[in-house]
Structure 1
Amino acid sequence: MTDLSNDAGLWATRALGASAGAAVSLVYLLPKSRLEAASRFFTGLACGTIFGGPTGIWIAERLALVDRLSASEVVLSGSAAASLCAWWGLGILSRIAGRYGARGR
């Protein structure tokens, strides 16, 4: 069972990493509207906060950095990566739906 402790430091690290991932994503795939920006940002924030730990562990193991990184660094990088992926995924799906959804009408 997963330990969902109330460690405020790790939760803050998750939120910071998720926010950083969402902010960096703005540079790469600009939103077309404020609504798109807000929905993608909050989706990135939620995904980064929820999946930051497992994503960080997966990345650290793949890059053989488990022994070199602290728990905070693993969570921070994992949250940023999960948020970045959520941003990209939602942004790309939004563009595809906008492009092909208009043709069906």
Structure 2
Amino acid sequence: MGESESMWMAKGAGAIIGSAISLAYVLPRGRREAALRFAVGVTSGIAFGGVAGLRLAHELGIDTVANGLEVALSGAALASLCAWWAIGILMRTFGAAQDQMDRANGPRPDRGERR
């Protein structure tokens, strides 16, 4: 296995680990929210894991001792965890606003609800 494949595997593993750890802190309200938050976490962990890992290693002062795979793994986990929390906060905020609108205006016909 080459260095490139190892790096992708480290980013993927970190992204999945970050999303999985997030489940322990804030449980999703349903399957749709869980799937969305997991997908966003994994995607952002893979996309931003390298940069986040470099910044994290620099801030912790371990950039000279940590190898590339460790940096990618920890950065992907951090990026995934942050994205998971962000999408969770957005969904709770907009979900609460939608619930308030539903209570104020009654059921929505586009959801197949009857009055």
| TM-score, reference length from structure 2 | 0.83
Percent identity of the aligned residues? Answer: 42
Note the residue ranges of structure 2 that are not aligned, 5 or more in a row.
106-115
Check if 1:72 corresponds to 2:69: yes
Consecutive aligned runs of 4 or more in structure 1 exceeding 4 Å deviation:
none
Following TM superposition, by how much is the alpha carbon of 1:64 offset from its aligned partner in structure 2, in angstroms? 0.7
Following TM superposition, by how much is the alpha carbon of 1:100 offset from its aligned partner in structure 2, in angstroms? 1.8
- Give the RMSD, CA atoms, in angstroms: 1.2
**1:26 aligned to 2, 9, 23, which one?**
23
Note the residue ranges of structure 1 that are not aligned, 5 or more in a row.
1-5
Check if 1:59 corresponds to 2:51: no
SS class of match (1:99):
helix
Q: Distance in 2 between matches of 1:7 and 1:65?
A: 22
Q: Distance in 2 between matches of 1:59 and 1:49?
A: 15
Q: Which has the larger radius of gyration?
A: 2
More helix by proportion, 1 or 2? 2
What is the number of equivalent residue pairs in this alignment? 100
